[in-house]
Amino acid sequence: MNSHHVSPLAMGSQHLSGQPPVIRFHHSKILALFRALDSALIVALLWVGVHFFSLEWSNFHTAFALCAVIIFGFFAETNEVYYLWRGDSMMKLSLQLLLAWFATSVFIMFAALLAYSPNKEGFFAIALWVLATPAAMVAMHIGRRVFLAKLRANPTEPRRVAIVGANDLGLRLINSIQSMPWMGYKIMGFYDDRAASNDVDRRLVGQHIDVKGGLEQLYADAHDGKLDIVFITLPMRAELRMHAVIDRLADTTVSPYLIPDVFNFDLLHSRLTCLQGIPALSIYDSPLVDNGWAKRLEDFVLGSLMLLGLSIPMLVIAAGVKITSKGPVFFKQTRYGLGGDPIKVWKFRSMSVCEDGPNVAQAKKSDPRVTPFGNFLRRTSLDELPQLFNVISGSMSLVGPRPHAVAHNEYYRGQIKGYMLRHKVKPGITGLAQVNGFRGETETLDKMSGRIAYDLEYIRHWSLLLDLKILWQTIFKGFVGQQAY
């Protein structure tokens, strides 16, 4: 009678329970505790501020405290304060906390002005609370980091880690682990039996690569109890090899981790999500998926303020356009907006023609179509000011990739890889490309490629702070340029 080796893992893959396997996300109990402590700290400091000014606790204070906890919880979650992104710097953590509380304090101080305008002591108590809370909160979280770092820096039994795959991803993983001593990991080295080559996806060479042996050596060390964790960083095309490694490690007690080499893709604001236990990684995503409301609020508030402040200069410009040349004051041209949908972009008319069709030539130096007054407007970007109407209506943003004429879009999308990805966000009045010298005419493919590279870099690293930085830089760099005709 023949005996057969039956694998429990293979039996499990048949879903005997009727439930397919799922992947669970790791949650930090410490971060959950500090989420609760932050809420308690907000309430406690308000109580201290109220009693510091010898005031009695009232229903108003209870409402302020509860609203602050709810609003801060929302902005903290939006800012990923309690996410388990191991390795983030203390500076980044502090900035995340401060931004979340700053957004909270805007609402709180507005409510305090309405509730306590005749009561100076009551308003000062709220103001003291608003100022003291972020300092105490940042100090508490930094203390947590320092305490845990010292506690875990020299563990009595460090977890011994091996890397399968002496490649660029494996080296990046080791560098990340070494920057986090509080994790309690001890790097044992690489294991790789592939021939060394100059292909970083396959096998790195050099003195900084410590290869302990091939895969058979890995299995022997794992079997002998010399390893605790194995990270597999083989390229995605090596699927059969990864299966073989994982199957052999099932005969040991090590914990294998699979690190997919998704960085080979040109990620654009990538996000990791989970669909009923099925992990999914977006490759070309938009930051507006999760933060569209924040950018829309930024555009509406700042755009309205700018339009109010620039209303008189815009009236003067409108009169100048009307007086110096025949034709309408405004010019609307079809451009691609969010998702590649057509929108009508407003501008002060700067040419003697109003071209909008399948064949629109870019403005060039000494272009005969540009009027004398229009030349001044174009060189100073004042012709773009009516796009504030687009911003307030929602078809454009203050900051984003500059919208191109439809004819130019259709041409360059076939010339530059990833060109249409710039439409993952709304077009903007100014952008990262404009403050880095790519403003005005892009008469060569290299110049347009440079502009698109900055547009995609903006989408890849978008944040409200980046928007504010670009708006500030636009004041000094974005209104003039040698390429603006």
Strand partners, 347: 331
Please give the mean pLDDT across all residues of the chain: 83
End-to-end CA distance of the chain: 89
Higher pLDDT, 346 or 113: 346
Distance of alpha carbon 397 from alpha carbon 251, whole angstroms? 57
**Mean pLDDT of the region 57-84:** 85
C-alpha 39 chain-centroid distance? 26
Q: How far is CA 330 from the centre of its chain?
A: 36
Return the minimum-mean-pLDDT range out of 92-96, 129-133, 153-157.
153-157
User: Higher model confidence: residue 481 or residue 422?
Assistant: 422
Q: Which phi and psi angles does 337 have, rounded to 5°? A: -105, -150
- The domains of the chain are located at 29-153, 157-264, 288-478
Looking at the DSSP bridge assignments, the partners of residue 88 are: none
Task: Give this prediction's pTM.
Answer: 0.74
Q: What is the pLDDT of residue 202?
A: 61
The whole-number pLDDT of residue 484 equals 52
Mean pLDDT of 105-133: 78
Neighbours of 98 (CB within 10 A): 15
**Range scoring the smallest mean pLDDT among 20-29, 273-282, 380-389:** 20-29
Mind listing the pLDDT tens digit for each residue in 43-53? 999 999 888 88
Res 292 pLDDT > 60: yes
HEC string of the chain equals CCCCCCCHHHHHHCCCCCCCCCCCCCCCHHHHHHHHHHHHHHHHHHHHHHHHCCCCCCHHHHHHHHHHHHHHHHHHHHCCCCCCCCCCCHHHHHHHHHHHHHHHHHHHHHHHHHHHCCCHHHHHHHHHHHHHHHHHHHHHHHHHHHHHHHHHHCCCCCEEEEEECCCHHHHHHHHHHHCCHHHCEEEEEEECCCCCCCCCCCCCCCCCCCEEECHHHHHHHHHCCCCCEEEECCCCCCHHHHHHHHHHHCCCCCEEEECCCHHHCCCECCCEEEECCEEEECCECCCHHHHHHHHHHHHHHHHHHHHHHCHHHHHHHHHHHHHHCCCCCEEEEEEECHHHCEEEEEEECCECCCCCCCCCCCCCCCCCCECHHHHHHHHHCHHHCCHHHHHHHCCCEEECCCCCEHHHHHHHCCCCCCHHHHHHCCCEEECCCHHHCCCCCCCCHHHHHHHHHHHHHHHHCCCHHHHHHHHHHHHHHHCCCCCCC
What confidence score (pLDDT) does residue 13 get?
Answer: 53
Residue 221 has pLDDT above 80, yes or no: yes
Distance CA 188, CA 127 (A): 53
Query: Range with the lowest mean pLDDT among 106-115, 245-254, 301-310, 352-361?
Result: 352-361
Positive or negative torsion for Cα 464, 465, 467, 471: positive
- Could you report the per-residue pLDDT of 147-165, keeping only the tens digit for each? 877 776 666 778 899 999 8
Highest mean pLDDT pick, 19-28, 175-184, 360-369:
175-184
pLDDT class of 34 with cuts at 50, 70, 90: confident
pLDDT at residue 1 in the model: 45
Class of domain 157-264: alpha beta
Q: Picking from 75-79, 327-331, 350-354, 465-469, which range would have the lowest pLDDT averaged per residue?
A: 350-354
In whole angstroms, give the CA distance from residue 293 to residue 107.
Answer: 16
**Which residues 6+ apart lie within 8 Å of 58 measured at CB?**
none
| Cβ neighbourhood burial of 267 (10 Å; 0-12, 13-18, 19+) | middle
Does residue 363 surpass a pLDDT of 60?
no
Strands 342-348 and 330-336, how do they pair? antiparallel
- Residue 350 C-beta-side C-alpha neighbours within 13 Å: 22
| pLDDT band at residue 21 using 50, 70 and 90 as cut-offs | low
Contact yes or no for 50/125 (Cβ under 8 A)? yes
Residue of 198, 171, 203 whose CA lies nearest to 187: 171
> What is the per-residue pLDDT across 171-193, written as a single tens digit (0 to 9) for each?
889 888 887 776 778 899 999 88
> Minimal CA–CA distance to 348: which of 376, 321, 325, 370?
321
Tell me the per-residue pLDDT of 429-458, one tens digit each, with 9 for 90 and over. Answer: 999 999 998 876 667 888 899 999 999 999
Q: Which residue has the higher pLDDT, 398 or 199?
A: 398
Q: Phi, psi (5° rounding) for residue 429? A: -70, -35
Task: Centre a 10 Å sphere on the Cβ of residue 97 and count the other Cβ atoms it contains.
Answer: 23
pLDDT mean over 426-430 = 94
